[in-house]
Amino acid sequence: KSTKTTFKVLDAPQLKDDFYLNLLDWSSQNILAVGLGSAVYIWSACNSKVTKLCESTPDKPITSVSWS
């Protein structure tokens, strides 16, 4: 029987539960981008630092994030 333990829990208020949105993306540099409401936050897995990357107006929520 395998045991699963939680490595890290990220608080993500305003994360929309919508199949058609792409609100999470993991970069090749171990950084997670998350769209929450009208803002995009990044989380570094290396140092656990959270940074607000950008924000749009409240009437224009984030619908997709992607690294290039």
Of the candidates 46, 43, 39, 44, the residue with the CA atom closest to the CA atom of residue 61: 39
pLDDT at 1: 66
DSSP label at 60?
S
Binned at pLDDT 50, 70 and 90, residue 9 comes out as: confident
Q: Is the per-residue pLDDT at 55 higher than 90?
A: yes
Instruction: Dump pLDDT digits (tens) for 21-51.
Output: 999 999 999 999 999 999 999 999 999 999 9
Q: What is the mean pLDDT of the chain?
A: 91
Cβ–Cβ under 8 Å, residues 51 and 8? no
Which residues face 51 on adjacent strands? 42
Give the separation between CA 14 and CA 3, rounded to whole angstroms: 30
Query: Burial, 61: exposed, middle or buried (Cβ in 10 Å; 0-12, 13-18, 19+)?
Result: middle
